[in-house]
Amino acid sequence: MRFSVIQSVVAAASVASAHTIMQAVNGLAMGKGIYMPDNDNTPIQDVSTDSIACSGSPVKKWRSSSDVIEVQAGSQVTGLWLHELGSTGPDEYSDNKIIASSHHGPVMAYLKKVDDATNNPAAGPGDGWFKISEVGYENKVWGVDKLIADEGIQTVTIPECIEDGDYLLRFELIALHSASQPMGAQFYLSCAQIRVSGGTASKTPKTVSFPGAYCNADPGILVQIWENDLPYPADYTVPGPVVFAC
């Protein structure tokens, strides 16, 4: 493994904001039922801060919503990632409308049951989170590669066995192109506000805390993904807990 010319170019591109924003849920209007950056696609890079729950500093501009999205347990929910708000194609920083294709890494989703989903992002930090989806790295295909192929649509299934009620749905993407350096991994995330009905409440998930579920030195966060100038390591471990299953 070596820090190559390609990696140097990738690192320089990251400074130029080849980033992404989660901005729409279930095909609804932009910002409806989600706390999201207001065209500020700055990543979170320190997992020990409260911002790792539902985002926050160093992102400076935000859009909040008073809407809660009604969702049936067992149904699918989609989230839309785009490089900037309303991106329709490549620009000087990104070679596609989603996120620069150099920003390889996993794509995940978590849920947290809360009293009031509109208390977002304040209800995010702390215990209660459980992972419901992950697309990591398999057969030289990263979760981000699949996300780009899917036109920025992240699709997750709400477990049918959970309790009814309000939840925060945490969409997350981790870009690992510069993750060989401490706090070089880039976390992009936003929390949607959903209300689940029709759940059987037949199983209680084990939960983790944000911050707390990740450490900056975890092998899936502090990691060299480049082998001979290609982003294809021998293996990769997605950070966080296992995916909850009914």
Which residue numbers are catalytic?
A: 177
Could you tell me where the beta strands, DSSP code E, fall in the chain? 21-25, 34-37, 62-63, 69-72, 76-82, 107-113, 126-135, 137-138, 141-142, 153-157, 165-175, 186-197, 208-210
Which residues are CB-neighbours of 215 under 8 A, at least 6 positions away? 47, 48, 221
Instruction: Tell me how far apart the alpha carbons of residues 102 and 127 are, in angstroms, rounded to a whole number.
Output: 33
Which residues are CB-neighbours of 146 under 8 A, at least 6 positions away? 107, 135
Within 10 angstroms of residue 103's Cβ, the number of other Cβ atoms is: 29
Which residues face 110 on adjacent strands?
131, 170
| Cis peptide bond upstream of 205, omega within 30 | no
